[in-house]
Amino acid sequence: MEIPRLFILNETIRNLYFHVCMWFGMMILFGTSFVYSIKYLRGFSLRNDIFAHQFAAVGSFFGILGYATGTIWANYTWVTDQSQSLGSILKEPKLIGAAIALLIYGAYFVLRGSFTDIDKKARVSAVYNIFAFAMLFPSIWIIPRLVGSLHPGAPGSESGNPALNFKDIDSRLRMVFYPAVIGWTLLGVWITTLKIRLQLFQDKSLINE
């Protein structure tokens, strides 16, 4: 596949099909988890709580993979070529925001684990999950786009807003990128369904429907 020829990035622009897709998949999985948390609070069915929990778990896993791949990518494009030191990378608002978002979801699992009463656990963690999803937007979408950042999408960069504005991404990349987003997300959903089926089987005695 032909890709646009860019300075500094060179062939690493192909990471768009992996790194960016991880974050897109994470957003979709967290969004699904959010919907199931609301559904749980509407009817208090433990089935919806299991769905919300497993979608959040696989979403966090995708987020960790996105973070890991981002560190590799940044190491070879941000650190030396633009004479950036490690110090300026650590100040990167996108990285801090993403770390905060993942830690908020980490606290979701800590919260779940700290309850012994099943109904109370489901209810409190559903409310917390809605808060966590709301916090996702300022920390990974809004704040890095308000302040300067090396990451594409920041103000003043020539890259525009490739994640949200489809005109800012090259058509040759788009041809692979959008199917890749769908594919990675479906892979995540499939793993989630396996986990949900396992959990539903384990908690068969608890769910009376």
Partner 1 sequence: MNKINNYLYTVPKWLLFFFGVIFTNVLFAQDAKPEMADLMRSNGKIYVVVAVCLTILIGLFVYVFLLDRKISRMEKENN
**Interface residues toward partner 1, by CB under 8 A:** 9-12, 14-15, 18-19, 22, 61, 64-65, 68-69, 72-73, 76-77, 187, 191, 194-195, 198, 201-202
Cα 201 off chain centre by: 27
Q: Tell the smallest beta-carbon distance from residue 137 to partner 1 (Å).
A: 25
Pair 185, 25: CB distance under 8 Å: yes
Nearer to partner 1, 40 or 60 (CB): 60
Q: Tell the smallest beta-carbon distance from residue 83 to partner 1 (Å).
A: 10
Nearer to partner 1, 57 or 126 (CB): 57
Nearer to partner 1, 90 or 201 (CB): 201
Nearer to partner 1, 131 or 190 (CB): 190
Q: Tell the smallest beta-carbon distance from residue 146 to partner 1 (Å).
A: 28
Which CB contacts under 8 angstroms, 24+ apart, belong to 40-48? 40/122, 40/123, 40/126, 41/123, 41/126, 41/127, 44/119, 44/122, 44/123, 45/207, 45/209, 46/118, 46/119, 46/122, 46/203, 46/206, 46/207, 47/200, 47/207, 47/209
